[in-house]
């Protein structure tokens, strides 16, 4: 490109760097696609509030957006390791697929940014921790606190959970009944004064049965996808 770039071209450069389309980027910024297209084409001047949004959410220097000449986004806080950020984004997408979550592009990008700011790096350990967090959120079993966790919960509130139909419920119910029966049997054996080893064996068997039941219940590979919104 010859000559200095326009504000619209620099905003477009930021969008292209995020990997988001115009619809997703406009939604992430809190504006309409029509407004974004107008800014990018130079048909209208963007509001000042947009500069703060780009700085806060995408680490873009507002001075560069307004006065810059090139189309290479300049970091406000410091150099951005784009390769690491891209790897974290890939991890987020992979883990979401694994646990059965459909995460909108802007939410996936925002989550990757939170991980980046927290010093996370792409790898097996990060994916394992992320998988546990997203799986717990998707199953509604995690109570979150703290500003960063509240942000994550807010993002996930916009996420559409893929509809799942659990199969083999009779197996889960039988395992639960067996686990309860073994626990009660062990307790009865102890109360009646029979061999403690027998009671211990019942309790150990109950623990093993319970573990099998939980693995069976929470393993996403034992879920069968169905269209969201169906009963």
| 91-148 pLDDT tens trace | 888 888 877 777 777 777 777 777 776 666 667 766 777 776 676 655 554 444 444 4
Token output for 121: 């790096």
C-alpha to C-alpha distances, 71 to 57, 78, 110, 199, 222, nearest whole angstrom: 18, 17, 22, 73, 48
**Which domain, by its residues, includes 23?**
7-67
As for how many domains the chain has, the answer is 3
Residues 132 and 175 placed together within one structural domain of the fold: no
d(CA 208, CA 194): 22
63 and 16 in a common domain: yes
| Chain segment 57-69, per-residue pLDDT in tens | 888 888 889 888 8
Q: So what's the pLDDT on residue 46?
A: 92
Query: Taking the model in full, what pTM does it have?
Result: 0.39
Which tens digit of pLDDT belongs to each residue from 122-138?
A: 677 667 777 766 766 55
Instruction: Give 47-81 as a DSSP string.
Output: PHHHHHHHHHHH-B-HHHHHH--SSSPPBSSS---
The answer to whether residue 51 sits within a structural domain is yes
Cα–Cα distances in Å, from 12 out to 37, 51, 64, 203? 9, 13, 13, 63
Residue 110's DSSP bridge partners are none
C-alpha 92/C-alpha 134 separation (Å) is 9
CATH number at residue 20: 1.10.260.40
């Amino acid at each position: 490109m010859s000559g200095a770039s326009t504000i619209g071209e620099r905003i477009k450069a930021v969008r292209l760097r995020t990997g988001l389309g115009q619809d997703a980027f406009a939604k992430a910024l809190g504006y309409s696609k029509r407004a974004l297209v107008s800014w990018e084409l130079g048909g209208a001047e963007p509001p000042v509030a947009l500069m703060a949004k780009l700085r806060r959410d995408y680490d873009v220097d507002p001075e560069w957006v307004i006065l810059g000449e090139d189309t290479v986004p300049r970091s406000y806080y410091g150099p951005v390791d784009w390769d690491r950020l891209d790897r974290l984004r890939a991890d987020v997408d992979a883990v979401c697929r694994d646990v059965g979550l459909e995460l909108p592009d802007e939410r996936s990008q925002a989550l990757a940014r939170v991980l980046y700011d927290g010093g996370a790096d792409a790898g097996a350990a990060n994916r394992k921790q992320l998988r546990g967090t997203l799986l717990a959120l998707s199953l509604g079993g995690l109570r979150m606190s703290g500003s960063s966790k509240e942000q994550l919960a807010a993002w996930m509130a916009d996420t559409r959970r893929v509809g799942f139909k659990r199969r083999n419920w009779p197996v889960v119910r039988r395992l639960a009944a067996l686990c309860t029966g073994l626990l009660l049997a062990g307790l009865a054996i102890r109360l009646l004064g029979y061999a403690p080893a027998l009671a211990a064996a019942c309790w150990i068997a109950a623990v093993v049965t319970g573990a099998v039941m939980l693995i069976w219940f929470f393993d996403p590979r034992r879920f069968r996808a169905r269209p969201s919104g169906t009963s």
